[in-house]
Structure formats: C-alpha cells, structure tokens
Amino acid sequence: MIPRPLFRRRTLLFSALIALIVSYCTLALVTSRWLEPERFDLTQDHLYTLSTGTQQIIDSARRPLWLTLYFSQHATRDLPQLRSYEQRVNEMLQEMVARSHGRIRLQVVDPVPYSDDEASAEGNGLTPISGGTNGERIFFGLVGATRQTGADNPSDVAADLPDDIDGKSTDRSLAIPFFDPGRETFLEYDIAKLLYQLSEPQRPRIGVISSLPVMGDPPQGAQPWTVMRQLQQLFDVETLSPDKLKQIDKSIQVVLLIHPKNLPNDAQYALDQYVLEGGHLVVFVDPLAESDPTPFVDDATSATNNHSSNLPRLFADWGVSYSPDQVVLDRGRALQIELAGANLAHPAMLGLGAQELNRDDVVTSSLQRIYVSSAGHFDLLPNATTRLIPLVQSSADAEVVPTQRVIEASNNPTSLLQGYQPQGQNYVIAARLRGPFVSAFPELAKKPGHLAESATNAEIILVADTDLLTDRLWVETQTFLLGQPMLSALANNGDFITNLVDNLSGSSALLSIRGRSSSQRPFSHVLALKRAADRKFLQKEQELESELADTKQRLDELQPAKGARDDSTSTEQKHEIEQFLKRELEISKELRDVQHQLNAEIDALGMQLKMINIVLLPMLITAIGLLYGWRRTRRNRRQRT
C-alpha cells in the first residue's frame, strides 16, 4: 500500500505536468494565431539576420514583388550538398518574406521534366545543369517579377497579390539563373541585388572610355572582362569613343576613364565640364598596364614607356601629383606567382588586405583584399586646394622604383628586392579626390555654356592601376561539382569596382550587405587526419612512380630498334627485358596497394568516429546515468535506515 504523503506528492507532480502541457499548447496556439511570431537568430555567424541594406531595399519597394524559386527535387535526391544549399536559400527567402510586411510573395516550384513548370523555368532565363538522377536536368534558380496592382498603400499589397505567378501580366522580370553553392557567402547580396533591380524603374547609365579591350571583341568572340559583365548586370553600360567625344550626356551618372593615352583635347574638355557640372568620374591610370595590347618598344635606352597612361593637364588642375615613371613595390604584400616552374614572391604584384583598405569608407569597408600589379601612386601638389582621401594604399614597408626597372625584371621579379629600401610611407593607390575644382581650360571661358568651377562637394575617384580590372588578377575558372565551369573570385576587385559605381550613382543600400560565412560545417578534424594520411603515403607513392618511370626508360633503351629483327636481341637483353617487365607489374601493384591502404585508413577513421558517436558516447552517458541513479538510491536507503 502506497503511503498517503507519497501518493499526494505523485498526484501533485502529475497535475503540475498536465497543467504545464495544457498551458504550453494554449500559449503556442494563441501566439501562432493572433500574434506575429518573433524570430531569433542563434547561429554563430547570424546567417539568418538580414543586413541593414537588405531591409532598406525591402522597405523601399514601391510595388509588390513576386519571387519563384525553382528547384528540381527528384533530380537532386542523390545530391545532398545541393539539397542542403536549397534549404539555405529557401530559409533566406522566407526571412525576407517575413520582413517585407506583405511586399514580397514567394512560391517554390519543382520543374519536373516535360512539364509546364520546366518550360516556364527555361523561358524565364534559368540555366539547367546536367548530372541529376536518371540523367535529368537540374534547375535551381530564382525568378523575380513586378506587376501593377493599383495599390498605393504598402499594407494593401497583400490583398492585391494573385495566387498564381505565371508571368502573363508581369510588368518586369529578372532571374538568378543558378544558385552556385560556391557563392554562398554572397547569397544575401545576390538576392538583394535582384530585389533592388526589380524595385528600380530604370537602371543607372554609366559611360566607359577605355584604350584597353575591357568590353571584349565581339567579332573575335572575346567576352567582356568579368568586372564589366558584373557592371552590366546592374547598370546600362555605354561605350564612349574618345575621338568623337565633344560632350557627355547629363543622363550618364558615372564615367569610367580607363588607361587614357594621348586623350584628345576635346575629350579632356568634355570630362572637365562633366566634373564641374556635378558628374561622377572614375579615372584609372597605370605606369605599366600589362593588359595593354600595344607592343612594347624594344629599346632599353628609350625613355618612353608605351604601356603607361596619364592625364597631366587635368591632374595638374586638380592638384594631383602622379608619375607614370614610378611603380610601388611592397615586399610584405607581395603575391606568390609561378614562373618557370618555381614559386616566388613578386614585390610589384600586391595583395592588399584589410589593413590597407579604408574601413571608414562605404566602398571598401566590407572588402577583404584587393590585388594590384605594377601600380602607381597619388599625392597632392603643394598648391592643391583639393583633398585626397585614401581608399587603397600600400603598407609602410613599401618603396617606389622606376617603371623601367620593373619591365627589365619581368623574367626575374626577385631582382627587385636587391637594394630594397622602404621609405616608411603608405603610398596611395586609390583615393577619393574632393573639390571644389576649377576648369583646366580657362581659355575657353567665352564658349557658350562653359563652367568655370564646380560645387564644393564635387568628387572624383582616382585609381593608379588598370591591371586590377583584368580577370587574370582576381578571377579563376573552377569546375563546379557537376562539371559546369564556374568563376571563382580570388579577391574583391570586382566588388570594389561595383561598389564605386554603385556609390557614385546614388545607391548605397547594397554596400552594407557583407559576405556571410558558409552554412556548411565540414569535419575539420577528419579533414586534418585525411591530410596527414595523404602526406604519410605521398612520399612512398612518389618513390614508386619515380622508379616506374626509370624502369620504363631503361626498358625503352633495351628494346630493339624499329625494323630490326627479333633475333638481333641477345639472350641477356631478353632476360633483362623480362625482369624489367616483371618489375613494372610489381610497381604498378604496389601503387595500387598504396592507394588502397590510403582509402582503408580513411574508412577506418570514419568507422572509429561512428563507433565513438553511435556506441561509445551513448554507453558512457548511460553508465553515468546508472551510476548516478545507483548512488542516489543507495543514499536514500541510508537516510531511511
């Protein structure tokens, strides 16, 4: 028979438990039905917390936005990495929808083969890839659209949203053709950029004046440089001819002047008046433009460097000091290059990191590194009335050398370190130049419409390198997990240029969106052990491969010459050939054994970890629980006695 005090205690505990369950269910029902759910991001890197810029773009949407996420569920059932990334994309989109207060509607579609959804995905510009289950194509992209609804109040948008987004009444649509897992760190930026483009009625116009083939060569099938393709995604890019340039249209919000060489006076005057009128100019000059297609002047005694660029008249008027005959070296920031099969540091090719970037400027605050090559530097003239605000600069362990010396050291860059003498100065490679400015053409003061000076807040961007625009310096082509070629950024050069144009064209919301860390969490300890196993067997494998190569070479030497009779080979030679052939088979078998042993050790490592996680840890926790229960029971018995 149970004692009455113990019975009352159990009854009280069960009653409290039932009351707690009922209260929890009631609270969950009430909050889910009548209260807006509060969301908390407890991830280490705040993966699901939207940046201020993204929220600003969402809040500034004047018209409702429809998003359609296409993802091939069946075709990716054997691709867990892609399915995991789809969940990450979906959760990011859901977070944006939740913060939009009805401005954004999301639909997820599985475009099964030969369906209307598949045709719609292709029609909206999505790019499928091969390699899915049973050879099916894989769609994984986003389509955004806007429509006229007649709702003036953002709170009325949700009521105007139709249930379907078939695109029949779409006012404008844009797409992310494929979500590359390699760009996960820029996922929020890519989606926010799509929303921004949909919200803006017209894209800003920018003009490009360049003596370099930045826009490619369509007749030859050459594509524009990657940085230009990125700009074309956000802006209307228009090429301006310097030989025909008399005046720059006021509707062009930003002009990129790249590698000006012998710029005509009319073009310089057009740029002068454009700046004084409030236009935004970005000037790229270079003491040694390695992408300049002009053949080098093969004359060591010549003082002319036909791969340099300058803007002497305008620079002098703006109070800028720049020399095309000087290149900045920085041994502490030298990039590693491969030359003639050897890896060496090139002191004229610089990897400038966070310490060399202006963290207080919106253009460079979120960037991590910028790569430049044979760059020059800027300073102010003694009589300058302008201000130079650095964006990118060298470290203090830098020095300046003649451009000709860098040209002569092209086959041996380490020779630039001979007699290296740092001046303890941070050389300015890119900067904002703030006015006011006066016209560099006072002799044209009587010309109709001539402007003599600018407003006090006029601004120009100066960059003393053009090689940072080239693909070779910051982009490499990689193979995607399903065999598709994808571009991978080694540095933030493209982001730097996009940020510059974006900032000068008046939009800064995208600049606050920083790159995020990946949601994938690899087993770092397992990878470290795998690398240790690789190193353990690599030496043996190399030894066997070297012996196999020597064996094949000696075997070729003993083989009879082509066309010779078989009996011309002596018995001794035949015996030695047989021995070499036998040894070749043995070496091949040993190499296979090495690879098999490597795989076996990795598998054994995985099995050990599984045993620890699945068997050992649960047993340990169970043993601790049993021990704790036994000790507590024993203590209770002692207290009763």
The rounded distance, in Å, linking the Cα atoms of 402 and 341 is 27
Q: How confident is the model over 164-201, as pLDDT tens digits?
A: 444 445 577 889 999 988 777 778 878 888 888 788 77
Q: What contacts 10, CB < 8 A, 6 or more positions away?
A: none
Predicted pLDDT of residue 358? 92
CB atoms within 10 A of CB 253: 17
pLDDT number for residue 438: 94
Closest by CA position to 144, among listed 102, 107, 181, 118: 107
112-171 pLDDT, tens digit each: 988 999 999 999 999 999 888 888 899 999 999 987 554 444 334 333 444 444 444 557
Which residue from 257, 226, 209 is spatially nearest to 461, judged by alpha carbons?
A: 257
Q: What is the pLDDT of residue 548?
A: 67
Concatenate the DSSP letters of all residues of 379-400 into one string: EE-TT--SEEEEEEE--SSEEE
State how far the Cα of 163 lies from the Cα of 583, in Å rounded to an integer: 73
pLDDT at position 558: 62
pLDDT for position 619: 83
Ramachandran category for residue 385: left, alpha or beta (phi over 0 → left; psi -120 to 50 → alpha): alpha
Helical segments of 449-491, H only: 471-474
Which residues of the chain have a pLDDT value below 70?
1-10, 29-48, 148-170, 297-304, 477-486, 506-545, 547-548, 551-552, 554-570, 572-573, 576-577, 580, 584, 587-588, 591, 594-595, 598-599, 601-602, 605-606, 641
What is the distance between the alpha carbons of residues 402 and 324, in angstroms, rounded to a whole number?
9
Query: Rounded to 5 degrees, what angle do the CA atoms 491, 497, 499 make?
Result: 100
CA distance 131 to 467: 37
Q: What is the DSSP letter of 554?
A: H
Backbone angles phi, psi at 330, to 5 degrees: -150, 95
The pair of structure tokens assigned to 153 is 């109040």
CA distance 307 to 519: 45
CA distance 107 to 396: 53
What DSSP designation does 343 have? E
Query: Positive or negative CA dihedral for 162, 165, 168, 173?
Result: positive
Spatial contact of 285 and 260, defined as CB atoms under 8 Å apart: yes
pTM: 0.58
For residues 276 and 454, the answer to whether their CB atoms sit within 8 Å is yes
User: What is the predicted pLDDT for the residue at 158?
Assistant: 38
Residue type, 48: Y
Strand (E) positions, 202-341?
Answer: 205-210, 236-239, 252-258, 280-284, 320-322, 326-330, 334-339
Instruction: Note whether 252 and 266 are within 8 A (CB).
Output: no
For 155-224, give the DSSP string: GGHHHH--S---STT-SEEEEE----GGGGGGHHHHHHHHHHHHH-SSPPEEEEEESS-TT-BGGGTBPP
